[in-house]
Amino acid sequence: MFANWYDINQYFAQQLARQMNSYFEDQASSISTWPPCNLYENAESVILTAEVPGFSQDELTLSVVQDVLTLSGERKPARPEESIVHRRERQGAVKFSRSFTLPYRVDAGKVEAELKNGILTVMLPRHPEEQPRSITIAKK
């Protein structure tokens, strides 16, 4: 299989590069899709649910501009008293932002959001001008 040491070295370098590329691609894709979100639609509204465990309502921001909903969040690590010596610190800062193009214009003044047990639920009612209307056909 290998003719000399150079071939062995080249083979392992290629394998290592492939593994490292795979690792960093996975990390990049997981960051851009966090937090996990679902977007639903019914006749009256669009509903967004997002899993944001550990975030308080003060650490989350929602905005609607035209037909784009943006969910952002930032949590800074808790800092204990100065006199405490850190032996292990696993909770770091988390910052994210996700935007969703909505299927129609929403009534931004009537948007409701609720955070319960780490699940953010956002109700975005359809703008009155975007409501489907029934049109009567006149007989002649």
Q: Residue 17 is encoded by which pair of tokens?
A: 């590069």
Q: Topology of domain 35-130, per CATH?
A: Immunoglobulin-like (2.60.40)
pTM above threshold 0.95: no
pLDDT, averaged across the chain: 81
Rounded distance between C-alpha atoms, residue 99 and residue 59, angstroms: 17
Burial of 104 (0-12, 13-18, 19+ CB in 10 A): middle
Q: For position 23, what pLDDT does the model report? A: 61
Q: For position 33, what pLDDT does the model report? A: 74
Tokens 């956002």 belong to which residue? Answer: 122
Measured between alpha carbons, how far is residue 102 from residues 16, 37, 64, 65 in Å? 42, 14, 10, 10
Burial of 71-95, coded b for 16+ CB within 10 Å and e otherwise, reads bebebeeeeeeeeeeeeeeeeeebe
Mean pLDDT by 10 residues, the chain (140 residues): 64 74 54 82 92 93 92 82 69 84 90 95 88 75
